[in-house]
A and B are shown apart, each in its own frame.
Chain A
């Protein structure tokens, strides 16, 4: 029974409750870092790490957290986890750390993490909170990675630095600039919500 419930949480966070294209959270980083696939991957791993551990630790502490300072506690834990990610990147991946610049620090303000902490971690047992954290992180990540593949391919003619589109391809520079992020995200949401998710919403409405 628990396994079925866990699987439902997992699946919902990937599709019907997806943080990016259904809840429209974490859009700042979605637009900012998706111009290069490598940076996007690091950002996604960082976010999965922070969401999972913040959900787990808040859930473990939930019985002791005084309710009127719960937001301060959430921010304190999330900020500490983000600083850990930042220090590890600076020490082991300095180039990526430099390219991501302030965006690693801005994981703190990613609405997905606070949202999951408030909605799930403080009211659920650790197992549920952990699964919710991982699945929210993965739900965010696969959308970002798809957008990054699309932007990098059209903007630079290749993915992960490997040229795929041949020498005759003229790079769409706008794709690696900020407007490209808006275009690709909008098209992505249109495809997913207009075509793929339409039967699901139809059934729910009926």
Chain B
């Protein structure tokens, strides 16, 4: 009995010591790189807003940051959910870019949705964060999925994948990813209602 207890304590002690050592290493590395990771994700958001607003995204991060600071006004400033993109006149925004969340199959989906206030139509919809299944729901990150809301007015309904309907209220779903596709559709329709309420 005594030997068994001793063995158990030794086993648990070894596991605990190893876990503490490894977790310390990972935590240290994570802290050292945290600022860089945050900067990367801010840059990615800026690039996505730029692409959704129809600009050509330059490779140089400094140019992206400069464009963002001169042409974009974020609202509310502390935790932005709307980016007003101004053209050369700087008076009326030429694009409104919304950051919205949807509940996908495996968790949160963060989308960046463009809206053209003059034509009252959507621009592209890009996804900056999701945990959907690779090969199925994760295909929302593909180029064709991003482009299909461009020029359409909504409210949207889903069509089978491959339909590529030109109708202003139809977008293609992704085969095998009904939950993800529906979540994106609902997020877009909810945003459209919100836009109609705030900008009648």
Contacts and interface: CB of A to CB of B under 8 A. Distances in A.
Q: Do A and B come from one complex?
A: yes
Interface of A: 32, 61, 64-66, 68-69, 72-73, 76-77, 80, 83-84, 87-88, 90-92, 94, 98, 101-103, 178
A103 B26 contact: no
Nearest to B13: A66
B29 interface: yes
Contact of A69 (B11, B36, B41, B134): B11
A55 B70 CA distance: 52
A90 B37 contact: yes
Contact of B25 (A32, A80, A88, A103): A80
Contacts, number: 55
A90 B40 contact: yes
Contact of B40 (A64, A76, A94): A94
A103 B22 contact: no
A92 B18 contact: no
A109 B44 CA distance: 29
B22 A92 contact: no
A76 B134 CA distance: 25
Contacts of B159: none
Interface string B28-44: 01100100110011011
A116 to B, nearest CB: 19
Interface in B168-186: none
Given A73-B15, A73-B18, A87 B26 contact: yes
A83 B29 CA distance: 10
B19 interface: yes
Contacts of B14: 64-66, 69, 73
Query: What is the size category of the interface that chain B forms with chain A?
Result: 20 to 34
Given A73-B18, A101-B138, A87 B25 contact: no
A17 B10 CA distance: 37
A39 to B, nearest CB: 13
Contacts of B30: 87
B40 A66 contact: no
A154 B40 CA distance: 33
Given A92-B36, A101-B134, A72 B15 contact: yes
Nearest to A95: B44
A8 to B, nearest CB: 32
27 contacts: A61-B18, A64-B14, A68-B11, A72-B15, A73-B14, A73-B15, A73-B18, A76-B18, A76-B19, A77-B18, A77-B22, A80-B26, A87-B29, A87-B30, A90-B37, A90-B40, A91-B33, A91-B37, A91-B40, A94-B40, A94-B41, A94-B43, A98-B44, A101-B138, A102-B134, A103-B134, A178-B135
Interface string B3-15: 0000100110011
A87 B25 CA distance: 12
A94 B44 contact: yes
A68 B26 CA distance: 26
Contacts of A92: 36
Contact of A90 (B7, B18, B26, B33): B33
B76 to A, nearest CB: 26
Contacts of A68: 11
B136 to A, nearest CB: 11
A54 B118 CA distance: 58
For A77, A83, A88, the residue with the greatest tally of chain B CB atoms inside 10 Å of its CB is A83
Contacts of B7: 66
Nearest to B7: A66
Contacts of B36: 91-92
A76 B33 contact: no
Given A83-B26, A90-B40, A69 B15 contact: yes
A101 B135 CA distance: 11
B22 A80 contact: yes
